[in-house]
Protein backbone atom coordinates (compact mmCIF):
# COMPACT_ATOMS: atom_id res chain seq x y z
CA UNK A 1 0.00 0.00 0.00
CA UNK A 2 1.22 3.52 -0.75
CA UNK A 3 1.29 6.64 1.38
CA UNK A 4 1.73 10.38 0.92
CA UNK A 5 4.90 11.92 2.28
CA UNK A 6 6.46 15.31 2.90
CA UNK A 7 8.49 16.99 0.19
CA UNK A 8 12.18 16.28 0.09
CA UNK A 9 15.19 18.52 0.51
CA UNK A 10 18.35 16.73 -0.62
CA UNK A 11 22.03 17.55 -0.29
CA UNK A 12 24.40 15.22 -2.17
CA UNK A 13 28.11 14.80 -1.67
CA UNK A 14 30.80 12.11 -1.82
CA UNK A 15 32.38 10.62 1.31
CA UNK A 16 33.40 7.32 2.86
CA UNK A 17 30.74 4.83 3.87
CA UNK A 18 29.43 5.16 7.43
CA UNK A 19 29.48 2.26 9.85
CA UNK A 20 26.24 0.50 10.75
CA UNK A 21 25.30 1.35 14.32
CA UNK A 22 23.77 -1.30 16.52
CA UNK A 23 21.23 -0.81 19.25
CA UNK A 24 20.00 -3.34 21.72
CA UNK A 25 16.27 -4.02 21.83
CA UNK A 26 14.27 -3.26 24.92
CA UNK A 27 13.46 -6.02 27.38
CA UNK A 28 10.82 -8.35 25.96
CA UNK A 29 8.36 -10.66 27.65
CA UNK A 30 7.69 -14.23 26.52
CA UNK A 31 4.55 -15.37 24.71
CA UNK A 32 4.34 -15.25 20.91
CA UNK A 33 2.61 -16.86 17.96
CA UNK A 34 4.85 -17.99 15.11
CA UNK A 35 2.93 -18.43 11.85
CA UNK A 36 4.22 -20.17 8.74
CA UNK A 37 3.63 -18.18 5.55
CA UNK A 38 3.81 -19.32 1.95
CA UNK A 39 5.73 -18.01 -1.02
CA UNK A 40 3.30 -16.26 -3.34
CA UNK A 41 3.59 -17.76 -6.82
CA UNK A 42 3.09 -15.27 -9.62
CA UNK A 43 3.62 -15.16 -13.34
CA UNK A 44 5.51 -17.90 -15.11
CA UNK A 45 8.47 -18.30 -12.74
CA UNK A 46 7.47 -19.91 -9.41
CA UNK A 47 11.07 -19.95 -8.22
CA UNK A 48 12.73 -17.84 -5.51
CA UNK A 49 12.36 -14.18 -6.46
CA UNK A 50 13.56 -11.25 -4.46
CA UNK A 51 10.25 -9.47 -4.32
CA UNK A 52 7.45 -11.97 -3.96
CA UNK A 53 5.10 -11.21 -1.11
CA UNK A 54 4.24 -13.79 1.50
CA UNK A 55 0.76 -15.10 2.15
CA UNK A 56 -0.86 -15.96 5.45
CA UNK A 57 -3.78 -18.39 5.52
CA UNK A 58 -6.84 -17.09 7.41
CA UNK A 59 -10.26 -18.70 7.82
CA UNK A 60 -13.33 -16.49 8.22
CA UNK A 61 -16.50 -17.89 9.78
CA UNK A 62 -17.19 -21.18 11.53
CA UNK A 63 -18.50 -24.63 10.68
CA UNK A 64 -19.83 -25.22 7.19
CA UNK A 65 -19.91 -21.46 6.56
CA UNK A 66 -16.15 -21.08 7.11
CA UNK A 67 -14.06 -19.98 4.12
CA UNK A 68 -10.28 -20.05 3.93
CA UNK A 69 -8.39 -17.23 2.19
CA UNK A 70 -4.76 -16.51 1.35
CA UNK A 71 -3.83 -12.93 2.25
CA UNK A 72 -0.73 -10.86 1.56
CA UNK A 73 0.87 -9.81 4.86
CA UNK A 74 0.67 -6.02 4.46
CA UNK A 75 2.45 -3.71 6.92
CA UNK A 76 1.32 -0.78 4.76
CA UNK A 77 -2.37 -1.38 5.42
CA UNK A 78 -4.81 -1.69 8.29
CA UNK A 79 -7.71 -3.48 6.59
CA UNK A 80 -8.55 -7.17 6.62
CA UNK A 81 -10.38 -7.21 3.29
CA UNK A 82 -11.66 -10.06 1.12
CA UNK A 83 -14.25 -10.91 -1.52
CA UNK A 84 -17.61 -12.00 -0.13
CA UNK A 85 -20.87 -13.35 -1.45
CA UNK A 86 -23.62 -10.72 -1.16
CA UNK A 87 -26.53 -9.81 -3.45
CA UNK A 88 -24.51 -6.82 -4.71
CA UNK A 89 -21.26 -8.70 -5.37
CA UNK A 90 -23.16 -11.56 -7.01
CA UNK A 91 -24.76 -9.08 -9.41
CA UNK A 92 -21.43 -7.37 -10.14
CA UNK A 93 -19.84 -10.76 -10.79
CA UNK A 94 -22.51 -11.92 -13.21
CA UNK A 95 -24.18 -14.29 -10.78
CA UNK A 96 -21.13 -16.50 -10.30
CA UNK A 97 -19.80 -16.35 -6.74
CA UNK A 98 -19.60 -19.78 -5.10
CA UNK A 99 -20.20 -19.71 -1.36
CA UNK A 100 -17.57 -22.42 -0.97
CA UNK A 101 -14.82 -19.88 -1.70
CA UNK A 102 -16.49 -16.59 -0.72
CA UNK A 103 -17.70 -15.79 2.79
CA UNK A 104 -21.46 -15.28 2.65
CA UNK A 105 -22.34 -12.06 4.44
CA UNK A 106 -25.61 -12.28 6.36
CA UNK A 107 -27.47 -9.57 8.31
CA UNK A 108 -26.46 -11.26 11.57
CA UNK A 109 -22.78 -10.58 10.82
CA UNK A 110 -23.11 -7.14 9.20
CA UNK A 111 -21.77 -4.28 11.33
CA UNK A 112 -24.41 -1.60 11.89
CA UNK A 113 -25.24 1.41 14.04
CA UNK A 114 -23.01 2.37 16.94
CA UNK A 115 -20.72 -0.60 16.32
CA UNK A 116 -19.57 1.28 13.21
CA UNK A 117 -17.25 3.63 15.09
CA UNK A 118 -13.68 4.75 14.59
CA UNK A 119 -12.73 2.90 17.78
CA UNK A 120 -14.20 -0.37 16.51
CA UNK A 121 -13.49 -0.19 12.79
CA UNK A 122 -10.90 2.54 12.33
CA UNK A 123 -13.23 4.15 9.79
CA UNK A 124 -16.59 4.91 11.34
CA UNK A 125 -18.31 5.45 8.00
CA UNK A 126 -21.99 4.78 8.66
CA UNK A 127 -24.25 4.71 5.61
CA UNK A 128 -27.80 6.13 5.70
CA UNK A 129 -29.12 2.56 5.97
CA UNK A 130 -27.08 2.20 9.20
CA UNK A 131 -24.65 -0.29 7.64
CA UNK A 132 -20.89 0.25 7.94
CA UNK A 133 -19.07 1.13 4.71
CA UNK A 134 -15.46 0.30 3.78
CA UNK A 135 -13.39 1.59 0.89
CA UNK A 136 -9.62 1.52 0.45
CA UNK A 137 -9.85 5.18 -0.51
CA UNK A 138 -11.06 6.04 3.00
CA UNK A 139 -7.43 6.10 4.14
CA UNK A 140 -7.29 9.62 2.73
CA UNK A 141 -4.40 8.55 0.50
CA UNK A 142 -4.78 10.03 -2.99
CA UNK A 143 -2.70 7.21 -4.44
CA UNK A 144 -5.58 4.73 -4.26
CA UNK A 145 -7.21 4.58 -7.67
CA UNK A 146 -8.02 0.88 -7.67
CA UNK A 147 -10.78 0.78 -5.09
CA UNK A 148 -12.70 -2.07 -3.49
CA UNK A 149 -15.93 -0.91 -1.88
CA UNK A 150 -18.09 -2.96 0.45
CA UNK A 151 -19.46 -3.43 3.95
CA UNK A 152 -17.82 -4.25 7.26
CA UNK A 153 -18.66 -7.55 8.92
CA UNK A 154 -17.83 -9.31 12.18
CA UNK A 155 -17.34 -13.04 12.68
CA UNK A 156 -14.80 -15.55 13.93
CA UNK A 157 -11.37 -15.11 12.35
CA UNK A 158 -8.81 -17.93 12.66
CA UNK A 159 -5.18 -17.67 11.59
CA UNK A 160 -3.94 -20.98 10.18
CA UNK A 161 -0.53 -22.70 10.13
CA UNK A 162 0.48 -21.56 13.61
CA UNK A 163 3.81 -23.24 14.37
CA UNK A 164 3.91 -22.29 18.04
CA UNK A 165 1.77 -20.41 20.54
CA UNK A 166 -1.47 -22.38 20.24
CA UNK A 167 -4.76 -21.76 18.46
CA UNK A 168 -5.11 -18.21 17.14
CA UNK A 169 -8.80 -17.37 16.79
CA UNK A 170 -10.79 -14.25 17.68
CA UNK A 171 -14.03 -12.41 16.94
CA UNK A 172 -12.82 -9.98 14.32
CA UNK A 173 -13.85 -7.12 12.06
CA UNK A 174 -13.20 -7.39 8.32
CA UNK A 175 -14.29 -5.83 5.07
CA UNK A 176 -16.39 -7.62 2.46
CA UNK A 177 -15.52 -6.27 -1.00
CA UNK A 178 -18.59 -6.04 -3.24
CA UNK A 179 -17.63 -3.65 -6.03
CA UNK A 180 -14.35 -2.86 -7.76
CA UNK A 181 -14.00 0.69 -9.08
CA UNK A 182 -11.00 1.74 -11.15
CA UNK A 183 -10.38 5.48 -11.01
CA UNK A 184 -7.68 7.61 -12.60
CA UNK A 185 -6.18 10.98 -11.61
CA UNK A 186 -8.21 12.44 -14.48
CA UNK A 187 -11.46 11.36 -12.77
CA UNK A 188 -11.57 13.43 -9.57
CA UNK A 189 -15.25 12.71 -8.89
CA UNK A 190 -14.66 8.96 -9.03
CA UNK A 191 -12.05 9.14 -6.30
CA UNK A 192 -13.66 11.83 -4.13
CA UNK A 193 -16.94 9.92 -4.05
CA UNK A 194 -15.13 7.05 -2.34
CA UNK A 195 -13.12 9.17 0.11
CA UNK A 196 -16.11 10.72 1.81
CA UNK A 197 -18.83 9.16 3.91
CA UNK A 198 -22.19 9.77 2.22
CA UNK A 199 -24.25 12.52 3.80
CA UNK A 200 -27.50 11.69 5.55
CA UNK A 201 -30.19 10.93 3.01
CA UNK A 202 -27.74 10.70 0.12
CA UNK A 203 -27.94 7.86 -2.38
CA UNK A 204 -25.31 5.17 -2.00
CA UNK A 205 -26.01 3.42 -5.30
CA UNK A 206 -22.85 4.75 -6.94
CA UNK A 207 -20.63 3.27 -4.24
CA UNK A 208 -21.54 -0.25 -5.33
CA UNK A 209 -22.03 0.28 -9.07
CA UNK A 210 -18.69 -1.21 -9.98
CA UNK A 211 -17.29 -4.34 -11.53
CA UNK A 212 -16.57 -7.72 -9.95
CA UNK A 213 -13.92 -7.58 -7.18
CA UNK A 214 -13.07 -11.21 -7.85
CA UNK A 215 -13.92 -14.55 -6.30
CA UNK A 216 -12.16 -16.27 -3.42
CA UNK A 217 -9.66 -13.44 -3.07
CA UNK A 218 -7.98 -12.41 0.14
CA UNK A 219 -7.37 -8.83 -0.95
CA UNK A 220 -5.18 -7.67 1.93
CA UNK A 221 -4.37 -8.46 5.55
CA UNK A 222 -3.38 -5.19 7.21
CA UNK A 223 -0.51 -5.90 9.60
CA UNK A 224 -0.21 -2.82 11.83
CA UNK A 225 -1.18 -1.54 15.27
CA UNK A 226 -3.36 1.32 16.48
CA UNK A 227 -0.85 3.81 17.91
CA UNK A 228 -0.14 7.50 18.03
CA UNK A 229 -3.76 8.51 17.61
CA UNK A 230 -3.92 6.92 14.16
CA UNK A 231 -6.61 4.22 14.10
CA UNK A 232 -5.79 0.80 12.69
CA UNK A 233 -8.63 -1.04 14.34
CA UNK A 234 -9.16 -3.64 11.58
CA UNK A 235 -5.52 -4.68 11.25
CA UNK A 236 -4.87 -8.31 12.16
CA UNK A 237 -2.20 -7.67 14.86
CA UNK A 238 -4.28 -4.89 16.45
CA UNK A 239 -7.35 -7.11 16.67
CA UNK A 240 -5.30 -9.94 18.16
CA UNK A 241 -3.90 -7.52 20.74
CA UNK A 242 -7.39 -6.21 21.59
CA UNK A 243 -8.58 -9.81 22.00
CA UNK A 244 -5.94 -10.26 24.71
CA UNK A 245 -4.03 -12.92 22.79
CA UNK A 246 -0.73 -11.01 22.88
CA UNK A 247 0.38 -8.73 25.72
CA UNK A 248 2.41 -6.21 23.71
CA UNK A 249 2.04 -4.53 20.35
CA UNK A 250 4.95 -6.34 18.70
CA UNK A 251 5.09 -8.19 15.38
CA UNK A 252 7.98 -9.76 13.47
CA UNK A 253 8.65 -10.58 9.83
CA UNK A 254 11.14 -13.30 8.83
CA UNK A 255 11.24 -13.82 5.05
CA UNK A 256 13.48 -16.22 3.15
CA UNK A 257 13.49 -17.42 -0.41
CA UNK A 258 11.77 -20.81 -0.68
CA UNK A 259 14.11 -23.77 -0.30
CA UNK A 260 15.06 -25.13 -3.69
CA UNK A 261 18.42 -26.00 -5.17
CA UNK A 262 20.09 -24.12 -8.00
CA UNK A 263 19.28 -26.82 -10.56
CA UNK A 264 15.54 -26.57 -9.88
CA UNK A 265 15.17 -30.27 -9.00
CA UNK A 266 13.62 -29.91 -5.54
CA UNK A 267 10.10 -28.70 -4.86
CA UNK A 268 9.44 -25.36 -3.19
CA UNK A 269 9.08 -25.51 0.58
CA UNK A 270 7.78 -22.92 3.05
CA UNK A 271 10.72 -21.12 4.60
CA UNK A 272 9.27 -17.92 6.08
CA UNK A 273 7.23 -16.87 9.09
CA UNK A 274 5.50 -13.92 10.70
CA UNK A 275 5.42 -13.47 14.46
CA UNK A 276 2.84 -11.91 16.76
CA UNK A 277 4.68 -11.10 19.97
CA UNK A 278 8.36 -10.59 20.82
CA UNK A 279 9.89 -13.93 19.73
CA UNK A 280 13.25 -13.79 17.91
CA UNK A 281 14.65 -16.45 15.54
CA UNK A 282 16.55 -19.27 17.22
CA UNK A 283 20.08 -18.20 18.17
CA UNK A 284 19.41 -14.47 17.75
CA UNK A 285 19.58 -11.95 20.59
CA UNK A 286 18.73 -8.27 20.84
CA UNK A 287 22.38 -7.15 20.66
CA UNK A 288 22.49 -8.39 17.05
CA UNK A 289 19.71 -6.05 15.92
CA UNK A 290 19.88 -2.61 14.37
CA UNK A 291 17.12 -0.16 15.28
CA UNK A 292 15.44 3.10 14.36
CA UNK A 293 12.49 5.00 15.84
CA UNK A 294 9.10 4.80 14.15
CA UNK A 295 7.45 8.14 13.49
CA UNK A 296 3.78 9.10 13.87
CA UNK A 297 1.70 8.50 10.76
CA UNK A 298 0.83 11.67 8.84
CA UNK A 299 -2.48 11.93 7.03
CA UNK A 300 -4.16 14.63 4.95
CA UNK A 301 -6.62 16.71 6.95
CA UNK A 302 -10.07 15.18 6.38
CA UNK A 303 -12.48 17.40 4.48
CA UNK A 304 -16.03 17.99 5.67
CA UNK A 305 -17.98 14.76 5.49
CA UNK A 306 -14.96 12.53 4.99
CA UNK A 307 -14.12 9.63 7.23
CA UNK A 308 -11.18 9.56 9.60
CA UNK A 309 -8.23 7.88 7.83
CA UNK A 310 -7.72 4.48 9.38
CA UNK A 311 -4.21 3.33 8.50
CA UNK A 312 -1.26 3.72 10.83
CA UNK A 313 1.80 2.78 8.79
CA UNK A 314 5.31 1.87 9.93
CA UNK A 315 7.64 4.69 8.87
CA UNK A 316 11.01 6.13 9.93
CA UNK A 317 12.87 9.36 9.24
CA UNK A 318 15.75 9.23 6.74
CA UNK A 319 18.96 11.19 7.35
CA UNK A 320 20.92 10.25 4.21
CA UNK A 321 21.44 7.57 1.57
CA UNK A 322 24.62 6.33 -0.11
CA UNK A 323 25.08 4.67 -3.49
CA UNK A 324 28.49 3.13 -4.33
CA UNK A 325 30.44 4.35 -7.32
CA UNK A 326 31.47 1.64 -9.79
CA UNK A 327 35.05 0.44 -9.12
CA UNK A 328 35.36 3.00 -6.31
CA UNK A 329 33.38 1.64 -3.32
CA UNK A 330 35.21 3.83 -0.79
CA UNK A 331 33.72 7.01 -2.23
CA UNK A 332 29.95 6.59 -2.61
CA UNK A 333 27.60 9.36 -3.60
CA UNK A 334 25.81 10.35 -0.38
CA UNK A 335 22.69 12.51 -0.33
CA UNK A 336 21.38 14.13 2.84
CA UNK A 337 17.62 14.44 3.32
CA UNK A 338 15.40 16.70 5.38
CA UNK A 339 11.74 15.91 5.99
CA UNK A 340 11.86 12.54 4.22
CA UNK A 341 10.62 9.22 5.56
CA UNK A 342 10.82 5.59 4.55
CA UNK A 343 7.72 3.39 4.44
CA UNK A 344 8.28 -0.23 5.54
CA UNK A 345 5.63 -1.97 3.44
CA UNK A 346 5.56 -5.77 3.04
CA UNK A 347 2.40 -5.58 0.93
CA UNK A 348 3.90 -3.64 -1.99
CA UNK A 349 5.58 -6.67 -3.61
CA UNK A 350 8.83 -5.54 -5.27
CA UNK A 351 8.52 -1.84 -4.54
CA UNK A 352 11.98 -0.31 -4.02
CA UNK A 353 11.52 3.41 -4.57
CA UNK A 354 14.30 5.89 -3.82
CA UNK A 355 14.55 9.65 -4.48
CA UNK A 356 15.61 10.75 -7.95
CA UNK A 357 19.20 11.67 -7.01
CA UNK A 358 19.89 8.27 -5.44
CA UNK A 359 18.23 6.57 -8.40
CA UNK A 360 20.39 8.46 -10.90
CA UNK A 361 23.52 7.31 -9.05
CA UNK A 362 22.25 3.72 -9.10
CA UNK A 363 21.60 3.87 -12.86
CA UNK A 364 25.09 5.29 -13.46
CA UNK A 365 26.56 2.33 -11.56
CA UNK A 366 24.49 -0.16 -13.55
CA UNK A 367 25.47 1.35 -16.90
CA UNK A 368 29.16 1.10 -16.01
CA UNK A 369 28.69 -2.43 -14.63
CA UNK A 370 26.83 -3.58 -17.73
CA UNK A 371 29.63 -2.33 -19.98
CA UNK A 372 32.23 -4.07 -17.81
CA UNK A 373 30.30 -7.36 -17.85
CA UNK A 374 30.15 -7.32 -21.64
CA UNK A 375 33.92 -6.82 -21.75
CA UNK A 376 34.71 -9.55 -19.23
CA UNK A 377 36.53 -12.78 -20.04
CA UNK A 378 33.45 -14.80 -19.03
CA UNK A 379 31.41 -13.02 -21.68
CA UNK A 380 34.04 -13.33 -24.39
CA UNK A 381 35.34 -16.87 -23.66
CA UNK A 382 31.94 -18.53 -23.28
CA UNK A 383 30.06 -16.61 -25.93
CA UNK A 384 27.34 -15.64 -23.48
CA UNK A 385 24.74 -13.06 -24.35
CA UNK A 386 23.28 -10.88 -21.65
CA UNK A 387 19.85 -9.80 -22.81
CA UNK A 388 16.69 -8.28 -21.34
CA UNK A 389 14.12 -10.76 -20.06
CA UNK A 390 11.19 -11.22 -22.42
CA UNK A 391 8.70 -10.50 -19.63
CA UNK A 392 10.25 -8.91 -16.52
CA UNK A 393 6.98 -9.07 -14.56
CA UNK A 394 6.53 -12.78 -15.32
CA UNK A 395 10.12 -13.45 -14.29
CA UNK A 396 10.47 -11.11 -11.32
CA UNK A 397 6.91 -10.57 -10.10
CA UNK A 398 4.85 -7.48 -9.36
CA UNK A 399 6.15 -3.91 -9.18
CA UNK A 400 9.28 -4.60 -11.20
CA UNK A 401 10.12 -1.26 -12.87
CA UNK A 402 9.80 -0.61 -16.57
CA UNK A 403 13.54 -0.14 -17.08
CA UNK A 404 16.40 -1.98 -18.78
CA UNK A 405 18.12 -2.86 -15.51
CA UNK A 406 14.99 -4.54 -14.09
CA UNK A 407 15.57 -8.00 -15.56
CA UNK A 408 18.54 -9.38 -17.50
CA UNK A 409 19.30 -13.02 -18.29
CA UNK A 410 21.85 -15.39 -19.82
CA UNK A 411 20.51 -18.44 -21.66
CA UNK A 412 22.73 -21.49 -21.22
CA UNK A 413 22.56 -25.32 -21.27
CA UNK A 414 20.60 -26.75 -18.38
CA UNK A 415 23.52 -28.99 -17.40
CA UNK A 416 26.07 -26.19 -17.45
CA UNK A 417 28.55 -26.10 -14.57
CA UNK A 418 28.98 -22.36 -15.13
CA UNK A 419 25.61 -21.25 -13.76
CA UNK A 420 27.07 -19.94 -10.51
CA UNK A 421 29.64 -17.87 -12.39
CA UNK A 422 26.96 -16.60 -14.76
CA UNK A 423 24.86 -15.42 -11.82
CA UNK A 424 27.89 -13.69 -10.33
CA UNK A 425 28.50 -11.91 -13.63
CA UNK A 426 24.92 -10.64 -13.72
CA UNK A 427 25.09 -9.51 -10.09
CA UNK A 428 28.35 -7.62 -10.74
CA UNK A 429 26.42 -5.09 -12.84
CA UNK A 430 24.65 -3.75 -9.74
CA UNK A 431 25.83 -2.16 -6.48
CA UNK A 432 25.53 -4.53 -3.54
CA UNK A 433 23.12 -2.19 -1.79
CA UNK A 434 21.83 1.33 -1.38
CA UNK A 435 22.60 2.24 2.24
CA UNK A 436 19.92 4.32 3.98
CA UNK A 437 20.95 6.02 7.23
CA UNK A 438 17.98 6.50 9.54
CA UNK A 439 17.24 8.74 12.48
CA UNK A 440 19.32 7.38 15.35
CA UNK A 441 22.25 6.43 13.11
CA UNK A 442 21.51 2.85 11.99
CA UNK A 443 21.84 1.91 8.32
CA UNK A 444 19.22 -0.09 6.42
CA UNK A 445 20.78 -1.74 3.37
CA UNK A 446 18.52 -2.10 0.33
CA UNK A 447 19.70 -4.97 -1.92
CA UNK A 448 19.64 -3.94 -5.57
CA UNK A 449 19.86 -7.29 -7.41
CA UNK A 450 18.56 -10.83 -6.95
CA UNK A 451 20.17 -13.54 -9.15
CA UNK A 452 18.05 -16.64 -9.78
CA UNK A 453 17.82 -19.79 -11.85
CA UNK A 454 15.13 -19.85 -14.50
CA UNK A 455 13.07 -23.01 -14.03
CA UNK A 456 10.81 -24.39 -16.73
CA UNK A 457 9.51 -27.72 -17.95
CA UNK A 458 7.44 -30.27 -16.07
CA UNK A 459 6.95 -29.11 -12.46
CA UNK A 460 9.61 -26.47 -13.08
CA UNK A 461 12.57 -28.81 -12.71
CA UNK A 462 14.74 -27.79 -15.66
CA UNK A 463 17.24 -24.96 -15.53
CA UNK A 464 17.38 -23.22 -18.90
CA UNK A 465 18.86 -19.84 -17.98
CA UNK A 466 20.01 -17.62 -15.16
CA UNK A 467 18.62 -14.16 -14.57
CA UNK A 468 18.82 -11.19 -12.25
CA UNK A 469 15.90 -9.11 -10.95
CA UNK A 470 16.30 -5.53 -9.77
CA UNK A 471 13.42 -3.51 -8.33
CA UNK A 472 15.07 -0.13 -7.76
CA UNK A 473 13.08 2.73 -9.24
CA UNK A 474 13.04 6.49 -8.88
CA UNK A 475 10.39 8.46 -7.05
CA UNK A 476 8.74 11.42 -8.70
CA UNK A 477 10.55 14.74 -8.21
CA UNK A 478 7.76 15.89 -5.88
CA UNK A 479 7.83 13.89 -2.67
CA UNK A 480 11.00 11.91 -3.24
CA UNK A 481 10.31 9.40 -0.49
CA UNK A 482 11.71 5.92 0.18
CA UNK A 483 9.23 3.06 -0.22
CA UNK A 484 10.66 -0.37 0.63
CA UNK A 485 8.82 -3.67 0.31
CA UNK A 486 9.79 -7.30 -0.36
CA UNK A 487 13.38 -6.78 -1.57
CA UNK A 488 14.34 -5.08 1.71
CA UNK A 489 12.58 -7.61 3.95
CA UNK A 490 13.94 -10.66 2.13
CA UNK A 491 16.62 -12.66 3.95
CA UNK A 492 16.45 -10.90 7.31
CA UNK A 493 14.37 -10.68 10.49
CA UNK A 494 12.44 -7.44 11.04
CA UNK A 495 10.47 -6.54 14.15
CA UNK A 496 8.05 -3.66 14.74
CA UNK A 497 7.60 -2.82 18.42
CA UNK A 498 4.74 -0.37 18.95
CA UNK A 499 4.40 -1.02 22.68
CA UNK A 500 6.33 2.11 23.75
CA UNK A 501 8.28 5.03 22.22
CA UNK A 502 11.83 4.32 21.10
CA UNK A 503 14.51 5.00 23.71
CA UNK A 504 15.57 8.64 23.44
CA UNK A 505 12.72 9.52 21.06
CA UNK A 506 9.63 10.28 23.19
CA UNK A 507 7.61 11.51 20.19
CA UNK A 508 8.07 8.24 18.30
CA UNK A 509 5.39 5.55 18.02
CA UNK A 510 7.78 2.67 18.61
CA UNK A 511 10.90 1.03 17.20
CA UNK A 512 11.76 -0.98 14.11
CA UNK A 513 14.50 -3.59 14.66
CA UNK A 514 16.22 -5.60 11.94
CA UNK A 515 18.99 -8.14 11.60
CA UNK A 516 21.83 -8.56 9.18
CA UNK A 517 21.14 -11.21 6.49
CA UNK A 518 20.23 -14.60 7.95
CA UNK A 519 19.87 -18.01 6.34
CA UNK A 520 17.07 -19.47 8.47
CA UNK A 521 13.73 -18.43 9.94
CA UNK A 522 13.70 -21.11 12.62
CA UNK A 523 12.03 -20.33 15.96
CA UNK A 524 12.03 -22.20 19.26
CA UNK A 525 8.73 -23.95 19.96
212/308: higher pLDDT: 212
pLDDT at position 30: 43
* DSSP-derived secondary structure for 454-469: EEETGGG-EEEEEEEE
Element (H, E) at 188: helix 188-195
| pTM of the full structure | 0.90
Please check the confidence at residue 480 and state whether its pLDDT lies above 50: yes
Q: Quick one: pLDDT at residue 11?
A: 54
Whole-number average pLDDT of the chain: 84
Options 2.40.70.10, 1.25.40.340, 2.60.40.680, 3.20.20.80; CATH for 33-255 is 2.40.70.10
Q: State phi, psi for 139 to the nearest 5 degrees.
A: -65, -20
Q: What is the pLDDT of residue 398?
A: 79
More confident residue, 78 or 137: 78
Coarse DSSP helix, strand, coil percentages of the chain, rounded to the nearest 5 percent: 20, 35, 45
| Residue 24 pLDDT > 50 | no
Cα distances (angstroms) measured from residue 176 to each of 86, 111, 208, 524, 525 = 9, 11, 12, 36, 35
Mean pLDDT of 166-188: 88
Task: Give DSSP secondary structure letters for 108-145.
Answer: GGB-BGGGSSHHHHSS--B-TTSBBEEEGGGG--TT--
The Cα-based distances of 290 to 328, 494, 495 in angstroms read 26, 9, 10
- What is the number of alpha carbons within 13 Å of residue 70 lying toward its C-beta? 9
* pLDDT tens figures, 314-338: 999 999 999 999 999 888 999 999 9
Report yes or no: 378 and 386 within 8 Å, Cβ to Cβ: no
Which residue blocks in 350-448 are alpha helix, DSSP H? 356-374, 377-382, 392-396, 419-427
Residues 238-281: pLDDT tens digits? 999 999 999 999 999 999 876 665 666 666 667 899 999 999 99
For residue 399, count other CB atoms closer than 10 A to its CB.
20
According to the model, what pLDDT value does residue 28 have?
30
Give the highest mean pLDDT range of 41-50, 51-60, 187-196. Answer: 51-60
**Would you list the domain boundaries of the chain?**
9-22+292-499, 33-255
The rounded distance, in Å, linking the Cα atoms of 14 and 501 is: 34
Q: Which fold has domain 9-22+292-499?
A: Cathepsin D, subunit A; domain 1 (2.40.70)
> What span, in angstroms and rounded, lies between the C-alpha atoms of 464 and 459?
14
* H helix runs in 50-98, sequence order: 87-92
Rounded CA-CA distance 237/394 in Å is 32
How, if at all, do strands 80-85 and 168-182 pair? parallel
Amino acid sequence: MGASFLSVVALCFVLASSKVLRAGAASRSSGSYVISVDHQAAGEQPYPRGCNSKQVSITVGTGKAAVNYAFTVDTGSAALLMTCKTPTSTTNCGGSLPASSNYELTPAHTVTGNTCSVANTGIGCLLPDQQCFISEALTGDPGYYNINNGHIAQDTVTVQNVLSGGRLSFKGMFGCAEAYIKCTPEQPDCFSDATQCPAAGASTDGLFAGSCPGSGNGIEAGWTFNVGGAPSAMAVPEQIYQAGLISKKVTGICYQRPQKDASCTNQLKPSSAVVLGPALPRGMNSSQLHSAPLIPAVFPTPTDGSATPYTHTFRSNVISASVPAFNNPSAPLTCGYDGVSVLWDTGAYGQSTVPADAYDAFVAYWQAGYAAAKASALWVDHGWTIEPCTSPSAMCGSNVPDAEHACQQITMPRSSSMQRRAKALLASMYPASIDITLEGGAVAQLPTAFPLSVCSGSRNTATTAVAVCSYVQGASPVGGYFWLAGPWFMGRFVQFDSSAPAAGFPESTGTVYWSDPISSCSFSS
